[in-house]
């Protein structure tokens, strides 16, 4: 199975900060990567698919980049609503996996 | 609008089985697959497997092979996930999610508690 490793596990930031989360795949996955945001007690929300395609309705301060084995999610200017946990997920082939998550908390 | 509505919370004893349903509406059911994803208390997301709503083909994570069965009923546009031989480690919120790779719509989650 392809393993997905996110870093950092926790990130402390302030409103207005630029935030970057990294996701590394243990094997080549081309651009078959999605990013989700999850808040406590809620289902995950799709932010980005195919590594860099912004889902409809998602604010443009979110962006994704990368291909192959290394990917990043960037929030250009952190807003109060963005404090949450973020997960990457690969969908290369038939067996998919999530990263372990990155919690973005208030500094 | 697209909706995935899951069945209610379940409490099961160790060794038992649980079957969770996911009723889809607002889109052509057969055009998308459904994944099942679980989340243990305080833990991350774990992909369990996927089923094609078009032809019933399934892909299961190795961890759940032999213990999980995913099915669909196209007449009622409902997906099902059955997990057998439950242990306390299976206590989690179980989500269904629409997609053929990435998942754009999710159910509200079903809490399954395994306790003697």
CB nearest to B59's CB, from A49, A94, A99: A94
In this predicted structure, what is the pLDDT of residue A106?
95
Q: Tens digits of per-residue pLDDT, B24-44?
A: 999 999 999 999 999 999 999
What percent of chain B is predicted at pLDDT more than 70?
Answer: 100
Q: Are B98 and B105 in contact (CB under 8 A)?
A: yes
Helices (H), B1-116: none
Q: Tens digits of per-residue pLDDT, A17-63?
A: 999 999 999 999 999 999 999 999 999 999 999 999 999 999 999 99
Please give the average per-residue pLDDT across A79-89, as a whole number.
98
In this predicted structure, what is the pLDDT of residue B89?
98
Q: What is the mean pLDDT of chain B?
A: 98
Residue B24 tokens, joined: 């889809």
Sequence-distant (6+) residues with CB within 8 A of B101 are: A32, A34, A49, A91, A96
CA of A9, closest CA in chain B: separation in Å? 11
Q: Tens digits of per-residue pLDDT, B66-95?
A: 999 999 999 999 999 999 999 999 999 999
CA of B49, closest CA in chain A: separation in Å? 8
Name which of A78, A66, A103 is nearest A15 in CA terms.
Answer: A78
CB nearest to A49's CB, from B47, B102, B109: B102
Residues in chain A closer than 8 A to B108 (CB atoms) = 43
What percent of chain A is predicted at pLDDT more than 70?
Answer: 100
């Amino acid at each position: 199975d392809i393993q997905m490793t996110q870093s950092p596990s926790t990130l402390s930031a302030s409103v207005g900060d630029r935030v970057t989360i990294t996701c590394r795949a243990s094997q080549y996955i081309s651009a078959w990567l999605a990013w989700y945001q999850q808040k406590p007690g809620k289902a995950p929300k799709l932010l980005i698919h195919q590594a860099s395609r912004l889902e409809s309705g998602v604010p443009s301060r979110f962006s994704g980049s990368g291909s192959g084995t290394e990917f990043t999610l960037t929030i250009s200017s952190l807003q109060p609503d963005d404090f949450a946990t973020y997960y990457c997920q690969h969908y290369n082939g038939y067996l998919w996996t999530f990263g372990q998550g990155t919690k973005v908390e208030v500094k | 609008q697209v909706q995935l509505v899951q069945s209610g919370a379940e409490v099961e004893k160790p060794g038992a089985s649980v079957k969770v349903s996911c009723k889809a509406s607002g889109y052509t059911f057969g055009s998308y697959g459904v994944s099942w994803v679980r989340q243990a208390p305080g833990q991350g997301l774990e992909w369990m497997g996927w089923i094609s709503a078009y032809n019933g083909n399934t892909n299961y994570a190795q961890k759940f092979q032999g213990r999980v069965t995913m099915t669909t009923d196209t007449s009622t546009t409902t997906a099902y996930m059955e997990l057998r031989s439950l242990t306390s480690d299976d206590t989690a919120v179980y989500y269904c999610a629409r997609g053929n790779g990435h998942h754009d719509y999710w159910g509200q989650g079903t809490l399954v508690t395994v306790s003697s």
